[in-house]
Structure formats: C-alpha cells, structure tokens
Structure 1
Amino acid sequence: MPTMMPRILAAGLGVSAVALAAGATYQAAATRRDRRLIPGAGSHVDVGGRTLRVHTTGLAEQPGPTVVFESGMATPLELWAWIQDGVGAFAPTVSYDRAGIGRSAPGPLPRTAERSSDDLAAALDAVGARPPYVLVAHSYGGLLVRHFAERHPEQVAGLVLADVAHPEELVRSQRQRVGLPFVEQYLRDSMWQSTIGMIRLNPYSDRRFRIEGLPEPARRAAKAAFSTRQMWHGSYAEFVAWQTDVNAEVRDAKLPPQCRLYVLTAGATVTGDPVHLQLQEELAQLSDDAVHEIVDGVEHIELVTHQEPAARVVAAVRSVVQAVREQRPLHPADRQSEKDR
C-alpha cells in the first residue's frame, strides 16, 4: 500500500492541474466573450499610453457644474447607475473606472492618491469635461476626491461624500482594524476564483457583490466586470496602497475655500460601528459650508446600488449643484427641501 501512495498523489496532482488549466482556459474565453457582448457603458480614452473607460452624459447639453463620480474600492462605474441617471437629468456627468478596475487598463504601482488624481485629471481633459466640478464619492473614493480637490482647488466647487472612508479609520476604529484581514482574504480569494472562472459560475454572485439592486443593463455589466481576473488584481493593488500611501497623502488635505460639502452617512454603518459616526462628523467639519445627513437603516453599499437610498444621494447632489449655479452657500434648509420632494 505505501508504494502506491506516490502514484496516487501524482495522479491527483495531475487531475488538479488539468482542472485548473481547464478553468483558466474557460475564464479567458468567457472574458473575451463578455468584452464583445457586454461592453458596459462608456468608451475608452487615452491617459498617457494607457486607457481608462469613461462614461459621460450631457457634457454638451446640460448646464454646469460637471458632476464627477469616484467609486469605492473594488467597484466598477456601473454601481453609479441609479445616481448617474438621476443626476444626468439636470447636470453633465462623468463616471469612470480607475486604473486596473472594471474595464480600464492597469496603471503603475503603487496606486497612490497622486497617481489616481493625475489619471482623473487626464480623463476629464480627454472627454472635454468643463469645470467647475462637483465631486461625488463613495467609500474609498472619498479619500481620492479630497486629494483631487486639494490638487485642483480652482476647479472644484463642491463635494458630496456618500459614506466615505476617513484617513484615520484604521487607527481609530477597532471594528475597521479587526475587519481588515477579512477584507484582504476576500480580495485574495476573489483573485484566485476569478482566475479559474469560479466567480462567473457562482449563481449567487449578484448577492455576493451586492449588485442585485442595480437596474439592467448595469447589473449585467457589473457582474461581467466582477468576473474578471484584472478587476481583483487592480482592487488588491488599491487595497495595499490605501494602507501604505493613500491615507497618509490625504490625512491633512484641505478643501478649497467656499467649497460646498454634503456628507451622507449610512445609518446601518453607524449602528455597526459608533466610531464611524464620529469620523463622518469630522468630515463634515472640513468645510464651513456643509450639511451632514444620516440615511437611516441603509447599508454602506446600498446607499448607491439601491434605488430609494440612491435617490437621497441624487437629492444631495442637486442641492450642491443648485448652490454652485446660484453662487450661494449650501444651506441646511436645502436638505429638508430635497427630502420633501
């Protein structure tokens, strides 16, 4: 019996290697098929020898300011579908996939806030977007828009921060610190599973990525993006840079003078982590012209992917856009008037 063990092990390894190779082949073919049949919204623009996918609406038709969307970590631009459609009814809009995310080509490492800001500036220039900008961010994207606003103060008239990250949350929130290894494992698992086609074969992937609330065809395009190996390698690169570079780059970032600021906080996030509320209140203090609204009972990702809470984000953007157009401060009364609509 002992003499058979090496043969059995060798046979098992051989079968595993064949299965992995078959999975990788299937993944590559399915990714090519998705790129052909499910291209997603937008088109590709050149940003210095690389391409970023950018989706715009109303750049030539709608009056400014231009509303620019910055996604959270590991999320393609389709997650803005409800909000970009809503805002597009009254303002020009731009959403995009950062380098290595969704359908954008990878960029140089590490993925610092400075490199992300340079990419966004190049993408806005490539599509002919006109400042002033109102920057709308979710989650990790909040760090990046703060950096962009400090780098380009003359171009930024307002920010809408939808349950965004704080540069000190990993230091001050025990819940965030405890959860960090689980986030890393999730990203590593997703890299591995996407390599051999397991993600696209998972019948519950919509729920896994919390995209079941998106409208069609955005949901289908988002699912295709989440199924790619590139998506997870790009997301892991941002996860690493978040800790090594981005938090430090943004920690002391200042907003431009007279910048309107609207902070929305997901109520369920506060329930799970009271420190999160303290951090969100600090973000609202970045400007003397700010509104802070807690969206009760809403989860972090649902704030952008589900229609009803997404409408609250649209209302906040409308308040900031109107204040910019009328060249007046953003008044707390705006919040109530928008909620009553």
Structure 2
Amino acid sequence: MREYATTSAPSSSPRRLRFRRVFKWLIISVGLIVAAGAVFQFSMTLWENHLYPPPGKLVDIGGLRLHINCTSVGSPTVILEAGSNDSSVIWQLVQPEISRFTRVCSYDRAGFGWSDAPNEPRSSLNIANELDRLLTRAAVPGPYVLIGHDFGTLDLRVFAWRHRQQVAGMVFVDSVHPDMHHRPPFNGASQSTLSKAFYRVIPWTVPLGLPRILGWCRNTFRFPNQPKEWDKFVHEAAAQYCRLQSWRAEQAQVTDGHGSFYANTGPLGDMPLIVLSHDPQVNDFRGFFSPARLVEAERAWMEMQGELRTLSSRSRWIVAIGSEHWIQIHRPELVTAEVQEIVNDARGTAPFQADPQTEYK
C-alpha cells in the first residue's frame, strides 16, 4: 500500500498543477480584459467631455447643477424636455428653428447630458420641482410653452398642473401614457423576468465599457432613414448617454408605480394642446415585440394617444406621416410648425384652432 501511494502521488500532482496554471491565467486574462474596458470607458468619457462642452450653462438649483441652453429672445418661452434616456442634444434639429420666432430653452434632467447626478428619487413630481427651481435660478420667466417627448411629457404635465397660470400651451411629441406599463401588450414587456434582469445588470457593465464596445450607445441614436442633418449629432447624443449616471437615472425614473402621478396632475382645461404621434405604419416597436404582437402594440399606443388629446377641450391630434418615435428628428419641421401655432395663440396674433378629427401630416 505504501508503494502504491508513493507511485500514484506524482501522477496526480501534475494534473493539479496544470489546472492551477490554467485557472490562474484565466483569472489574469479576465482581469486584464476588465481593466482594459474600464480604461477605455474612462478615457473615452474624458475625451468626449473635451470634445462636447456644454452649449448652455450649469445652474445651481440647491445642491444640484442642471444644464440649460437658452437661445434667442421673445415671449412666450418654449421649454424642451427630452425623453427617458435622452439629453438636450435630441432637440438640435428643432431648437434653431424655434429660435427664429421666440426664445427657446432646452435642458437636461438630473443624471442626463451635462447635468449632475440626481440627489432625489426620479418621480415626475421631483423632476417638475427641479425644473421650477432651474427656471427661477436661471431667470427664465413665463409664460411658457412646454414641449415634451416620450417620458418627458409626464414631468411637464406635473409642472403645468402646479403652475397653470404660467403655461400658455403644450405639445406632446409621441408622449408615453402614464398607464402604459399597466396595459397589454406593454405590461408584459415591462414586467417580464428577462426585461427586469436586463435593466438591473446592464448598468454594471457601463464602467467596463461593454455598451460602448458593442455599439449599443451609438446605435441608440442612429435611426433608419434618419435625415442627413442628424448625422453630425449622433456621436454627441451617444456621448451624453454612454455613461453610468445616465443609465442609473434612466433606470430610476418612474411613471406611476404607486399612483403618485395622478395625485399631482389632472386635466388641462382649455389649454391649447397638440398631440403628435408617430406613424403606426412604421412599426416602431419591432425591437420589443414579436411580429405577431406588433399590430396589437401599435393599436394600443394609438388608443392611448387618443386619450391624451382629451386632456384639453382645445386640442389637436396629428399623426406624423413617415415618422418613427423621435418625431423631432424625423419631422423637425412639423414639430416647429405646431409649436409656432401655440406661440401665436399666446401672443394673440392667431387663435389656436382645435380640431376633433385626427390629422395626418
């Protein structure tokens, strides 16, 4: 037995040694890859900060700095608020055109663009209060025409409800409905285990440069059939998004998880309201639903858009022909024209004309 033990030990020892060496080099390789990704993300962020300085100014609203970019002069002032994962760059094709006839300000919510990371929960009430403090500290007086895209419209609805006398009108640019995630088929997509796991895990990969390396950030702002004018803003929009605080802020934003949204808003009375919707023929949800459920998703979205137009007794609902969700990119001239209608109404030069019929432009 002793002789067997002494002869078998050398045969097992080399196998253990090879295993330890392979495991060691595997750990080292993974560590080097992670380190290289982190260095790449850090260096690219520094370079982009140099390449794309803030076009506006950072305003301290009390323990938090928000970026606001105001151009031109005139009254009322148009306020532009971006969607759930966008910065103020998303309005670059619209803001210069609105500047031709009145003052216009785009801004970045906390966590996005050039603004600081948020220090409060991302409810629409908190975001609306931060916008109020920003406009006060930045000396941007009303009246305001509020233009919101996607999620941003929810924040502006709360702002309008709390400051009704300062708001001359609103334009919803393919706005989300506060009940969207409670209605099929969107409720299934938002509540699936895979979807929840994805949004919990993905922010941890940002400091390692994975979304940037795989092109997720860049591709988020590159659209099929996009106008050539948008080409020069793709990289800037991606640069403002491809950082950890933006992904965390997007994840933290809530719509109406506990009914708090409806407690802080309501109907708009006779306020001029224009609801702009993407073209359902474009099938804007193909990345989220199977082909069999695309028609259902588009039908549900359009039903909710119709409900949004009932918020005001003076409203119009316009479907932007040929446009996807980002109407301000695909049809900037349409957004600009509708904004001007509400501005003219506020000035008393041309009364806003409501229309009960759905328009296609």
* DSSP 3-state at the match of 1:294: strand
* DSSP 3-state at the match of 1:277: helix
Distance in 2 (CA, whole Å) between partners of 1:196 and 1:189 is 12
Give the AA of the match of 1:83. V
Give the AA of the match of 2:86. T
Gaps in structure 2 of 5+ consecutive residues: 1-14, 285-293
Shift of 1:2: 5.6
Q: Percent identity?
A: 27
Shift of 1:305: 2.1
Partner of 2:209: 197
Shift of 1:28: 1.6
Q: Does 1:170 align with 2:185?
A: no
Partner of 2:152: 141
Distance in 1 (CA, whole Å) between partners of 2:109 and 2:313 is 30
Give the AA of the match of 2:325. H
Give the AA of the match of 2:244. R
1:6-53 superposed Cα distances (whole Å, 9 cap, x missing partner): 442332122212221222122122212211221142221111021111
Q: Does 1:266 align with 2:266?
A: no
Equivalent residue pairs, number: 329
Aligned residue among 295, 309, 319 for 1:284: 309
Q: Relative to structure 1, is the Cα distance of residues 183 and 67 closer, same or farther in structure 2, using a 3 angstrom cutoff?
A: farther
Q: Relative to structure 1, is the Cα distance of residues 337 and 72 closer, same or farther in structure 2, using a 3 angstrom cutoff?
A: closer
Q: Does 1:322 align with 2:333?
A: no
Distance in 1 (CA, whole Å) between partners of 2:358 and 2:347 is 19
Shift of 1:192: 3.8
Q: Relative to structure 1, is the Cα distance of residues 14 and 50 closer, same or farther in structure 2, using a 3 angstrom cutoff?
A: same
Partner of 1:44: 58
Q: Relative to structure 1, is the Cα distance of residues 320 and 190 closer, same or farther in structure 2, using a 3 angstrom cutoff?
A: farther
Give the AA of the match of 1:320. I
Shift of 1:142: 1.3
Partner of 1:313: 335
Shift of 1:3: 5.5
Aligned residue among 59, 64, 68 for 2:79: 68
Give the AA of the match of 1:21. A
User: Structure 1 stretch 197-206 or stretch 13-22: which is displaced more?
Assistant: 197-206
Distance in 1 (CA, whole Å) between partners of 2:79 and 2:238 is 23
Partner of 1:10: 24
Partner of 2:45: 31
1:228-276 superposed Cα distances (whole Å, 9 cap, x missing partner): 22221121111xx23535x631477224443110001111359542011
Gaps in structure 1 of 5+ consecutive residues: none
Distance in 1 (CA, whole Å) between partners of 2:88 and 2:202 is 19
Shift of 1:85: 1.5
1:189-243 superposed Cα distances (whole Å, 9 cap, x missing partner): 65244312234445675433336645365333212112222221121111xx235
Q: Which has the higher contact order (CA 8 A, sep 6+)?
A: 1
Partner of 2:35: 21
Q: Relative to structure 1, is the Cα distance of residues 51 and 184 closer, same or farther in structure 2, using a 3 angstrom cutoff?
A: farther
Q: Relative to structure 1, is the Cα distance of residues 237 and 336 closer, same or farther in structure 2, using a 3 angstrom cutoff?
A: closer
Distance in 2 (CA, whole Å) between partners of 1:316 and 1:147 is 22
CA RMSD of aligned residues (A): 2.8
User: For the Cα contact (< 8 Å) 1:157–1:258, is it kept in 2?
Assistant: no
Give the AA of the match of 2:143. P
Partner of 1:215: 230
Give the AA of the match of 1:316. E
Partner of 1:242: 255
* DSSP 3-state at the match of 1:94: strand
